[in-house]
Amino acid sequence: MIMKYKCYLSTSFICLLFISIGFGQWFDLNQNGVTRSYLMSYPNNAMGECPLIINMHGYTGNASQQQNSSEMDEFAHPQNIAVVYPQGMPNIQGITSWNVGSFWDGNSYDDVGFISAMIDDIASNFDIDLDRVYACGMSNGGYMAYELACDLPEKITAFGSVTGNFMLNSNQECDNGREIPIIHFHGTEDGVVNYYPPSFDGSLTVEESIDFWSDLNNLTITNIETLNNNVDIYFFESEVSSTQFVHYKVENGGHQWFGNNWGFHSSEELINFFLEYKLSDFITENITVEYQSGWILVGLPLEVENASYNILFPEAIPGTLFSFEEGYISQNALMEGVGYWLRFPESSMIQISGYPIIEVSTPINEGWNLIAGLSSVIDVNSIHDPDNIIVSGTFFGFSSGYVQATELIPGYGYWVRASDSGTILITNSFN
């Protein structure tokens, strides 16, 4: 089958056109002068944005083996979920591994940086829901999932480990101001990665990881469910949020990716767990915007529960919110990516709280359009314009008069002219 994807060339991305025979597509990227690879498995006939699961192989393994042994595609694709299998680098012994700070991985590569760059590359080539990116792995790959939980929580929502412990390094700061959902599968007879303490490598075993993350996430409620004679499921939960640490304790289980013969499938349970969470559930921001008296171009700077203009801008003059589409249209609420006129009786400073807007696809018409950006400053030259319809030099903001704009600043609206109708993509991934 030929996997469907969008290929937007960027400086960090080498697009290897590859006809798949059912196993996905290999891609290379240059990360800090090192060529790294990943195997992308995107669902056929995908419907809109796909969540993305990063599934990492174990020590001595590779991406193709992980794809085959985990069987995750079988559970992910029917649910419109993409799976990527990154490839570890050979260590000093020539053995593929992930750099988790252990004495045995023998790896000095920047694997966290690679995973971060990989997410950006995938988002620039596939239709990915960046609010639903997850990471898991087997053995050394499970260690790496814990590494990412500490070092990349701004891009990855939830994490899962199958037979991999938590190598908490002395230089790591895992308290990043957000809660971290984790699911961990481990057999009590694992002869490679210890289930019971002490671990052979100084890593935190399952019970020690539970204590660490329960303290960090304030998980004070414990429930236990017996699945069958071999499997107990432990739920460590919060009184005030949906964050959990879930542990599948497999009596007599070994060092393996657990399949249906144990009464559950690791891939299926990982997916079920992951889909309970979005990144925006955990990351909130406050943005303060200053407005002058009179007519101002405004935009929605954050995803909010109530986008009514009289809630967001209580000092604005009632009935003065207008969008533009071949003429001015009176509005009551703001939408992401759209710019508006709004009138203030006097200068004002507004603080808006909400979740980051990290990407917006904005339809535009031939002629002049009112648009808005994201929750971060966006260079107008980084806006993706696949049909080349934006007329160069026609971005304008308004501050007591029109001012040519080189950036889209959160909270403000902007005029832009297009030579034809189409859609532009404003995203952090191209910055």
Predicted confidence (pLDDT) per residue in 298-324, tens digit: 999 998 889 999 999 999 999 999 999
Per-residue three-class SS string for the chain: CCCCCCCCCCCCEECCCCCCCCCCEEEEEEECCEEEEEEEECCCCCCCCEEEEEEECCCCCCHHHHHHHHCHHHHHHHHCCEEEEECCEECCCCCEECCCCCCCCCCCCCHHHHHHHHHHHHHHHCCEEEEEEEEEEECHHHHHHHHHHHHCCCCCCEEEEECCCECCCCCCCCCCCCCCCEEEEEECCCCCCCCCCCCCCCCECHHHHHHHHHHHHCEEEEEEEECCCCEEEEEEEECCCCCEEEEEEECCCCCCCCCHHHCCCHHHHHHHHHCCCCHHHCCCEEEEEEECCEEEEEECCEECCCCEHHHHCCCCCCCCCEEECCCEEECCECCCCEEEEEEECCCEEEEEEEEECCEEEEEECCEEEEEECCCCCEEHHHCECCCCCECCCCCEEECCCEEECCEECCCEEEEEEECCCEEEEEEHHHC
pLDDT for residue 341 is more than 90: yes
pLDDT at residue 16, as a whole number: 36
353: number of Cβ within 10 Å: 11
117 near 12, Cβ under 8 Å?
yes
**pLDDT class of 23 with cuts at 50, 70, 90:** low
361 near 337, Cβ under 8 Å?
yes
pLDDT for residue 430 is more than 70: no
Q: Give dist(CA 413, CA 373) in Å, integer.
A: 8
**pLDDT class of 251 with cuts at 50, 70, 90:** very high
Mean pLDDT of 416-430: 88
pLDDT for residue 2 is more than 70: no
Phi, psi torsion values for 422, nearest 5 degrees: 175, -160
> Which CATH architecture fits 13-281?
3-Layer(aba) Sandwich (3.40)
For residues 20 and 310, the model is more confident at 310
What angle do the packed helices 140-151 and 111-125 form, to 10 degrees?
80
Indicate the average pLDDT of the chain. 91
Q: What percent of the chain has pLDDT over 70?
A: 94
Mean pLDDT of 181-196: 98
pLDDT for residue 4 is more than 60: no
Q: Give dist(CA 431, CA 423) in Å, integer.
A: 19
Q: Give dist(CA 83, CA 24) in Å, integer.
A: 9
Q: pLDDT for 254-299, tens place per residue?
A: 999 999 999 999 999 999 999 999 998 887 788 999 999 999 999 9
Mean pLDDT of 350-375: 92
253 near 187, Cβ under 8 Å?
yes
330: number of Cβ within 10 Å: 9
Q: What percent of the chain has pLDDT over 90?
A: 84
Mean pLDDT of 236-249: 96
pLDDT for residue 66 is more than 70: yes
Q: Give dist(CA 361, CA 338) in Å, integer.
A: 10
Listed by start position, the domains of the chain span 13-281, 285-430
What pTM value is reported for the model? 0.71
pLDDT at residue 409, as a whole number: 96
